[in-house]
Structure 1
Amino acid sequence: GVEELVKAGLAVEDAKGFEKGLRDAIARTVGSDPKELWRELTARRLLRPSHPHAVHQLVYYAVYANYDASTNGPPLYWFPSLYQSKYTNLGRLMETHGSKLLGASYKDPVTSFSLFQKFSAEHPEVYWSIVLKELSILFHEVPKCILDTSDTSKHGGTWLPGSVLNISECCLLSTSYPRKQDDGLAVVWRDEGCDDSQVNHMTLKELREQVMLVANAMDAIFSKGDAIAIDMPMTVTAVIIYLAIVLAGFVVVSIADSFSANEIATRLRVSKAKAIFTQDFIVRGGRKFPLYSRVVEAAPNKAIVLPGTGKDVDIQLRKQDLSWNNFLSSVNHLPGPNYFSPVQQPIDSMTNILFSSGTTGDPKAIPWTQLSP
């Protein structure tokens, strides 16, 4: 009622108008399906971004008060229009393949969603073959099947058994379908502390060449399968390093740049990392916060150190460590430093080691493979 809306942050007159709109929406809704009522509320734009979040919560939970999530799934919040749905990844896929897969039963991404979902579950070989092509997944040895459920001891079965690929290579190659061209946009970013500067752009070709340069530099130092940590902010260079580690057949160890020296040390020890990419400083709000010093305190692992600002690091490094510039210059003698032959590995090869929070002891390693997100 009005009183609850006022408590949630609306002015009295606004609350009265809102309640009237709510009653009108209820009157327009056929039956008592809470999903249809919520759809009506969103269609009428009764709730607006300017309303306090508490108002959104109040109405949402009131509408779905008697909704059985165990039977019907999570209560829906957003209902895309037909126009919006056609521009989602799934909507585009359905528009391209829906009629071919479902025949005359296919109407549009909204009307035919449940039917298409049912088809995907009943025909995984057909559906996932389409999705893998849509994702530009390139196999160097194709899988024996999409999903092997013959071994009942493996919960959920085995996906893409027998396949060999490099998932980083799949990100970097241009393809005719879907349209992923060398001169197409791959990364958009703005450097920390440069909020008023222009946005930076990198094409797919530029990204691939940068990744392969870093992969060559790593390949000259480390052995295939080595774990290599990244402890730095999510910059465009961090993305390049991540892709290069996987491209060259190594394993990423993900470490948050907010961690203390002890937390860094534990993760380096558990993962048996051979080296770590980091920055001299982290720049936040115009201030510089030390990061390399925490890595030094954590462990003697070789560190490749990037500058937080400028073109070179602003601190003295240990003898075993390398500045980013010296690391890259180590492959200048190669005839093609911007080309690297990707290391092809089985689908279940590790690509990344993440960690649990470690609140009850040492953090537990969580391995990701080429099948992981």
Structure 2
Amino acid sequence: MAHKSLSLITVSDIESLGIAREDAATLHQRLTEIIGIHGDNTPATWQLISNTLLRPELPFSFHQMLYYACYKDYGADAPAWVPDPDSAALTNVWQLLERRGEEFLGSAYKDPITSFDDFQKFSVSNPEIYWKCALDEMNISFSKPPECILRDNSPLSHPSGQWLPGASINPAQNCLNINGKRGLNDTVIIWRDEHSDDLPLQRMTLEDLREEVWLVAYGLKAVGLEKGSAIAIDMQMNVTSVVIYLAIIVAGYVVVSIADSFAASEISTRLKISKAKAIFTQDLIMRGEKSIPLYSRVVDAESPMAVVIPTKGSEFSMKLRNGDLSWHDFLEKVNNLKGKEFIAIEQPVETLTNIIFSSGTTGDPKAIPWTNVTPLKAAADAWCHMDIRKGDVVCWPTNLGWMMGPWLVYASLLNGASMALYNGSPLGSGFAKFVQDAKVTMLGVIPSIVRSWRSANSTSGYDWSSIRCFSSSGEASNVDEYLWLMGRALYKPIIEYCGGTEIGGGFVCGSLLQAQSLAAFSTPAMCCSLFILDDDGHPMARIGELALGPLMLGASNTLLNADHYSVYFKGMPLFNGKVLRRHGDVFERTARGYYHAHGRADDTMNLGGIKETVKAVILFNWNATLDFRGP
């Protein structure tokens, strides 16, 4: 489609979009002033237009007109957002580099924005230094400190490296610690139930969260499960499931993550693979006018002992099985211990804390164990790339059955932020009002949710100006949809985030210290190196199958139901003496240094839930692996 240059846009062009002539004349006058300052086709022009001229209430067609006119002759990877030094100076990474940039980079250090790319490369070459900094910045506490950050002397048995060897830690306890990021009275969870849009938000302080977690941890011990037992959670992500999640890990058990959308057969498969000894579930989930059964599915899955949370009051839709417990009876056993601190079980870093499953679209799901180290990767990504910090409110509609649920817990709580949970569908105006009322500062999305918001105009009339950035994962991003999304929050950036359950976070993403292009990644994640392989397996291609450098803190070393080495390393090329890690997506590195994902390199992939056989790479922007699920 042909677009005019900015300088050729007339008042009549603006008026034709449904804007009153007087308003069109005012907008045109301001546009003319901006062009006079920066010209009609530069990133600085667009930055001033998006920051001072465009507002959510203006027709999106006007936003599109100006964006495409400004970048008419720019080519690919036009920056939809450029960092502003004043706001960038408040970010975690800016402040770290201002303190230590010269120490890290020597005379090559200029300033945090100019030197960010060099800093990322430094983190790859010096992972011990980077991770020591990141763990210190997040106030991570070990009961037994590590002997070193990285031991890399057994590449065949541990191609991903042995991280923090000798250390003992409890990552859930770290979420509850009092430190420089928070005190007992600080809010850590904000939530609202669907259809309660006019009621005040509900809040939980750190003190309340600690007491709730301790009580559930005592309840788990009272049930008599052996240390290290696997305990499943099949619930929507709400304050109760978060408390249960943290309590299982605080008490030295292993969470088995099961999505609340799964049928009985899928639940059964995951319970058998993980050898779960118990399961927490809800009787029903209420979504809109629908009631969705969970407990009956768990019964049909022939689960082990279940602890069942009622939907309302103490009534259940069906009689509990012999041996199952109501939530009330589970807690009643230990109510005399309410308020008494539970001493967290600190264990070696390689101890399992969470079993999360791949989507299983091409067979049995891979059972991917998270260790005590994996949560640190999730939280560090949030600290660096989404700039999560004290006082933030982090919202990402998801579920504990997919990795973004645990990611949200650690990304917010380990960084001193609050998590915001909406108990209902994220697609309607109720969720949009929740984002406004909770003053969400980082909103995570998947593209299909954004598509629904735009189609239904769900966000109209709500103030999202508190948002500092969005983040996106899970599906293919669309330029126009994400331009629309940025416009809802006065053009705040979208940090694209691609990774996998087996990594515990991302390997390629964005940064608030770099210009962000729509549906593109601006940088490898910290300490991650990317290799695009040509047809002969040489890591020198512009477009090809993606491989990852093997040394990644938090990345998996085992699978419960498959041979880990065969899945991720067998047959992969060497680079500098190290075997590269298989990923399986096709990636492109553009002339401007951005990365685009172009789908799976496999012969078989899943598109929108339909299994398709393909003979060639499907070229579209696919900004995450299929494991990297939202709700």
After TM superposition, the score normalised by the length of structure 2 is 0.50
The structure whose residues are more often helix, as a share, is 1
Higher alpha-carbon Rg: 1
* 1:167 aligns to 2:171 (yes or no): yes
Within the candidate set 176, 200, 203, 2:202 is matched to 200
- Give the deviation of 1:218 after TM superposition: 0.7
Partner of 2:350: 348
C-alpha distance in structure 2 between counterparts of 1:347 and 1:322, whole Å? 32
Kindly indicate whether the alpha-carbon contact (under 8 Å) linking 1:216 and 1:337 is maintained by their aligned counterparts in 2: no
* 1:93 aligns to 2:96 (yes or no): yes
Partner of 2:162: 158
C-alpha distance in structure 2 between counterparts of 1:360 and 1:122, whole Å? 36
- Give the deviation of 1:137 after TM superposition: 1.1
Q: Which amino acid aligns with 1:131?
A: A
- Other structure's SS at 1:273 match: coil
- Give the deviation of 1:211 after TM superposition: 0.6
Per-residue displacement from partner, 1:245-281 (whole Å, max 9, x unpaired)? Answer: 1111111111111111111111111111111111111
C-alpha distance in structure 1 between counterparts of 2:287 and 2:66, whole Å? 33
* 1:249 aligns to 2:252 (yes or no): yes
C-alpha distance in structure 2 between counterparts of 1:279 and 1:155, whole Å? 40
Label 1:304 to 1:152 Cα distance change in 2 as closer, same or farther (>3 A).
same
C-alpha distance in structure 1 between counterparts of 2:358 and 2:61, whole Å? 34
Q: Which amino acid aligns with 1:146?
A: I
Within the candidate set 212, 215, 230, 1:213 is matched to 215
Partner of 1:145: 148
Partner of 2:363: 361
Label 1:29 to 1:199 Cα distance change in 2 as closer, same or farther (>3 A).
same
- Give the deviation of 1:339 after TM superposition: 1.7
Kindly indicate whether the alpha-carbon contact (under 8 Å) linking 1:193 and 1:284 is maintained by their aligned counterparts in 2: no
- Give the deviation of 1:56 after TM superposition: 8.7
Kindly indicate whether the alpha-carbon contact (under 8 Å) linking 1:276 and 1:303 is maintained by their aligned counterparts in 2: yes
- Give the deviation of 1:173 after TM superposition: 0.8
C-alpha distance in structure 1 between counterparts of 2:231 and 2:315, whole Å? 22
Kindly indicate whether the alpha-carbon contact (under 8 Å) linking 1:280 and 1:313 is maintained by their aligned counterparts in 2: yes
- Give the deviation of 1:240 after TM superposition: 0.5
Kindly indicate whether the alpha-carbon contact (under 8 Å) linking 1:169 and 1:342 is maintained by their aligned counterparts in 2: yes
Kindly indicate whether the alpha-carbon contact (under 8 Å) linking 1:141 and 1:162 is maintained by their aligned counterparts in 2: yes
Between 1:178-187 and 1:163-172, the stretch displaced more is 178-187
Q: Which amino acid aligns with 1:51?
A: F
Kindly indicate whether the alpha-carbon contact (under 8 Å) linking 1:215 and 1:340 is maintained by their aligned counterparts in 2: yes
C-alpha distance in structure 1 between counterparts of 2:141 and 2:197, whole Å? 38
Query: Which segments of 5 or more consecutive residues in structure 2 lack a partner in the other structure?
Result: 6-10, 18-23, 379-631
User: What is the 5 A alignment of 1:308-347?
Assistant: 308-310=311-313, 313=316, 315-334=318-337, 338-347=340-349
Q: Which amino acid aligns with 1:309?
A: K
Label 1:237 to 1:338 Cα distance change in 2 as closer, same or farther (>3 A).
farther
Label 1:313 to 1:39 Cα distance change in 2 as closer, same or farther (>3 A).
farther
- Other structure's SS at 2:81 match: coil
C-alpha distance in structure 2 between counterparts of 1:252 and 1:264, whole Å? 14
Label 1:331 to 1:312 Cα distance change in 2 as closer, same or farther (>3 A).
farther
Kindly indicate whether the alpha-carbon contact (under 8 Å) linking 2:256 and 2:276 is maintained by their aligned counterparts in 1: yes
- Other structure's SS at 2:60 match: coil
User: What is the 5 A alignment of 1:260-279?
Assistant: 260-279=263-282
After TM superposition, the score normalised by the length of structure 1 is 0.80
* 1:51 aligns to 2:53 (yes or no): no
C-alpha distance in structure 1 between counterparts of 2:291 and 2:185, whole Å? 35
Within the candidate set 181, 184, 188, 2:183 is matched to 181
Label 1:151 to 1:39 Cα distance change in 2 as closer, same or farther (>3 A).
farther
C-alpha distance in structure 2 between counterparts of 1:288 and 1:4, whole Å? 51
Instruction: Give % identity.
Output: 44
- Give the deviation of 1:62 after TM superposition: 6.6
Kindly indicate whether the alpha-carbon contact (under 8 Å) linking 1:41 and 1:47 is maintained by their aligned counterparts in 2: no
C-alpha distance in structure 2 between counterparts of 1:268 and 1:202, whole Å? 31
User: What is the 5 A alignment of 1:53-92?
Assistant: 55=64, 59=68, 65=75, 77-92=80-95
C-alpha distance in structure 1 between counterparts of 2:149 and 2:312, whole Å? 46
Per-residue displacement from partner, 1:181-205 (whole Å, max 9, x unpaired)? Answer: 1111111111343222111111111
Between 1:354-363 and 1:239-248, the stretch displaced more is 354-363
Label 1:28 to 1:83 Cα distance change in 2 as closer, same or farther (>3 A).
closer
Within the candidate set 39, 42, 47, 1:42 is matched to 47
Between 1:298-307 and 1:110-119, the stretch displaced more is 110-119
Label 1:201 to 1:192 Cα distance change in 2 as closer, same or farther (>3 A).
same
Between 1:183-192 and 1:242-251, the stretch displaced more is 183-192
Label 1:140 to 1:312 Cα distance change in 2 as closer, same or farther (>3 A).
farther
Kindly indicate whether the alpha-carbon contact (under 8 Å) linking 1:312 and 1:323 is maintained by their aligned counterparts in 2: no
Between 1:218-227 and 1:47-56, the stretch displaced more is 47-56
Label 1:2 to 1:61 Cα distance change in 2 as closer, same or farther (>3 A).
closer
Kindly indicate whether the alpha-carbon contact (under 8 Å) linking 1:354 and 1:366 is maintained by their aligned counterparts in 2: yes
C-alpha distance in structure 2 between counterparts of 1:244 and 1:156, whole Å? 29
Between 1:146-155 and 1:159-168, the stretch displaced more is 146-155
Q: Which amino acid aligns with 1:290?
A: P
Kindly indicate whether the alpha-carbon contact (under 8 Å) linking 2:308 and 2:325 is maintained by their aligned counterparts in 1: yes
Kindly indicate whether the alpha-carbon contact (under 8 Å) linking 1:143 and 1:161 is maintained by their aligned counterparts in 2: yes
Partner of 1:303: 306
Partner of 1:238: 241
Between 1:111-120 and 1:302-311, the stretch displaced more is 111-120
Between 1:202-211 and 1:96-105, the stretch displaced more is 96-105
Kindly indicate whether the alpha-carbon contact (under 8 Å) linking 2:184 and 2:207 is maintained by their aligned counterparts in 1: yes
Between 1:295-304 and 1:41-50, the stretch displaced more is 41-50
Equivalent pairs counted in the alignment come to: 352
Per-residue displacement from partner, 1:194-223 (whole Å, max 9, x unpaired)? Answer: 222111111111111111110110112211
Label 1:187 to 1:62 Cα distance change in 2 as closer, same or farther (>3 A).
same
Kindly indicate whether the alpha-carbon contact (under 8 Å) linking 2:233 and 2:255 is maintained by their aligned counterparts in 1: yes
Kindly indicate whether the alpha-carbon contact (under 8 Å) linking 2:190 and 2:202 is maintained by their aligned counterparts in 1: yes
Q: Which amino acid aligns with 1:13?
A: D
Partner of 1:13: 13
Kindly indicate whether the alpha-carbon contact (under 8 Å) linking 2:46 and 2:80 is maintained by their aligned counterparts in 1: no
Kindly indicate whether the alpha-carbon contact (under 8 Å) linking 1:210 and 1:338 is maintained by their aligned counterparts in 2: no
Kindly indicate whether the alpha-carbon contact (under 8 Å) linking 1:313 and 1:323 is maintained by their aligned counterparts in 2: no
Between 1:361-370 and 1:225-234, the stretch displaced more is 361-370
C-alpha distance in structure 2 between counterparts of 1:53 and 1:235, whole Å? 39
- Give the deviation of 1:38 after TM superposition: 4.0
- Other structure's SS at 2:140 match: coil
